[in-house]
Structure 1
Amino acid sequence: MKKIKFMNKDRNGKRCECGFMEIKNQTEDSADLFFYGDIASETWQSSWYEDDMAPGDVKEFLDNLDGVSSINIHINSGGGSVFGGIAIYNMLKRNAAQKTVYIDGIAASIASVIAMAGDRIIVPANATMMIHKPSNSYFFTSKNADELRKDADTLDRCQKAIIQTYMTKAKVSEDEINQKVNEESWLVGDEIAELFDVEVEESNSAAAYAGSFFTDSYKNVPRNVCEKKMAVPETASWEEIEKAIARAVQTGIKDGLDRENKKKELLASLEQYGERD
């Protein structure tokens, strides 16, 4: 099946590729799904990035899995859109196929939540998982105190729902998971296994770290991750910056109410799948 490129914009507003998601059919009864880059958002979340269709493409893929009883999900992602990732997690969790997640290199931020959709999670000894508090970024946007408080309430709901999801695979108490999330914790193989029900295997020398535009927003990034960041694209021209500003102004708060309603639906769904038996 097709490879889906994830597009993003650097701080100068220039569009560039930040990774890809690849979907492959392996046999008649199994399929492979690869997340090798930043997690893209749904189209309702941002009209800027017309290529950010990851949740929609995953849905299309799952809808066409006729007779497939097992899905192998490979993750090497530095994170991305919280609500895009939540949508992907919910769709994978709803699917009846047996799901095996392989953290090939790194599952950071919302990518670690997607990993929890697996019935089995397999982690090489040198693979990395990062869990932290969800956050909002504001680009060419100003908000008043009431709007910021509303965003903070939404982020608190996100964290609660995400921690419930972590707890479906946790070996330790919710308080300990919550503390690790608040601290922004970077974990490798055996450390991941201390917190979560995962299977640790031999180190994978083949998997390289997936460069991410989100690395700069993380606080406790290990040196080895910093050294493997994606190269920054060349500086955008003033004309490109002006166009980016114009697009931001035109976009404004378009479809804001729809976005809020969609967020509520996704969070409610995530909370449902985060409940333990």
Structure 2
Amino acid sequence: MSRLSYLKVKNSTDTSADIYFYGDIVGDEWEKWCDTDTCPKDIIDALSEAQGKDLNIYINSGGGSVFAGLAIYNMLVRAKGKKVCCIDSLAGSIASVIAMAADELIMPSNSYLMIHKPSNMVWGNATEMRKMADDLDIIQLGIEDVYKNKLKDGVDIETIRTMMEDETWLTASEAEKYFNVKVVEGNKAVAKLDLNNLKNYKNIPKEFKDKIQKGGRDEHLQLDNELKNKLQIELELLNM
């Protein structure tokens, strides 16, 4: 599968199409590490293919580039047709911003929303480092503006700002207290997400780590069984 083919609109009908965010959010094609990573150009192509249809958006991503994610958010907001987003496992960091582009945001009961302050690396003198801190504060204001559009009545943005300061992981039921989210019954099947992609986050819930690690063990067990079956068939053929 080529990188460009992953985000092609799936399950397209006359009136709707499915789009998946199942990897990191990156700035361009050269920044992709795997087929599931997504950049703004992918969304331009996908929306062009969807031709104004209703969009079913599925997210399982720990985030990535702030500016790429904001560009994707704005493109989805401008897109014609109704947009329904389902967080299959995690919408973390800038992926949580992309989720807010939907007219209807759905979270299975076993999914997560993670919000935190934007971060960056900087090399330079004291003046350059202070400027980066100021720039990050401005960037955060843009992210907060997105969250404001999905806040439940009575929830103040200051509450969300404090949660961002602490890097807050919200279960579906917790997210429903602050954002306009529809909670549905969780699927027992766990959407795959590599824990290595979340290594820079400090407050990953233990149950979320356990869920991903168990999924990885189950996947390895399945691969081991497939290898054993293949070897068994080859041995039987040799004995024929």
TM range (shorter): 0.7 to 0.9
Q: How does 1:107-186 map to 2 (within 5 A)?
A: 107-137=91-121, 142-171=123-152, 172-186=155-169
- Of structures 1 and 2, the one with the larger relative CO (CA 8 A, separation 6+) is 1
Larger radius of gyration: 2
Paired residue for 2:10, among 20, 24, 31? 24
- Kindly indicate which of the two structures has a greater share of residues assigned to strand: 1
| 3-state secondary structure, aligned to 1:147 | helix
* Deviation, structure 1 residue 213: 4.2
Residues 52 and 79 of structure 2 are in contact (CA less than 8 Å); yes or no, is this contact kept in structure 1?
no
Cα distance between partner residues in 1 of 2:184 and 2:158 = 28
| CA displacement, residues 85-137 of structure 1 (integer Å, 9 cap, x when unaligned) | 11111111111221000001110111000000000001101110100001013
Paired residue for 2:188, among 185, 205, 228? 205
Q: How does 1:46-65 map to 2 (within 5 A)?
A: 54-65=39-50
| 3-state secondary structure, aligned to 1:217 | coil
Runs of 4+ deviating beyond 4 Å: 47-53
- Identical-residue share of aligned pairs (%): 43
Match in the other structure for 2:65:
81
Are 2:75 and 1:91 aligned? yes
Give TM-score scaled by structure 2 length.
Answer: 0.79
Give TM-score scaled by structure 1 length.
Answer: 0.69
Provide the aligned length of Structure 1 versus Structure 2: 210
Task: List gaps (5 residues or longer) in structure 1.
Answer: 6-19, 232-277
Cα distance between partner residues in 2 of 1:195 and 1:136 = 27
Whichever residue aligns with residue 95 of structure 1, its letter is A
- Kindly indicate which of the two structures has a greater share of residues assigned to helix: 2
Task: List gaps (5 residues or longer) in structure 2.
Answer: 217-240
Residues 24 and 38 of structure 2 are in contact (CA less than 8 Å); yes or no, is this contact kept in structure 1?
no
| CA displacement, residues 201-221 of structure 1 (integer Å, 9 cap, x when unaligned) | 001212324115441111111
Match in the other structure for 2:238:
none
Whichever residue aligns with residue 63 of structure 2, its letter is G
Cα distance between partner residues in 1 of 2:200 and 2:161 = 20
Cα distance between partner residues in 2 of 1:67 and 1:173 = 34
Q: How does 1:178-197 map to 2 (within 5 A)?
A: 178-197=161-180
Residues 110 and 187 of structure 2 are in contact (CA less than 8 Å); yes or no, is this contact kept in structure 1?
yes
Cα distance between partner residues in 1 of 2:31 and 2:60 = 25
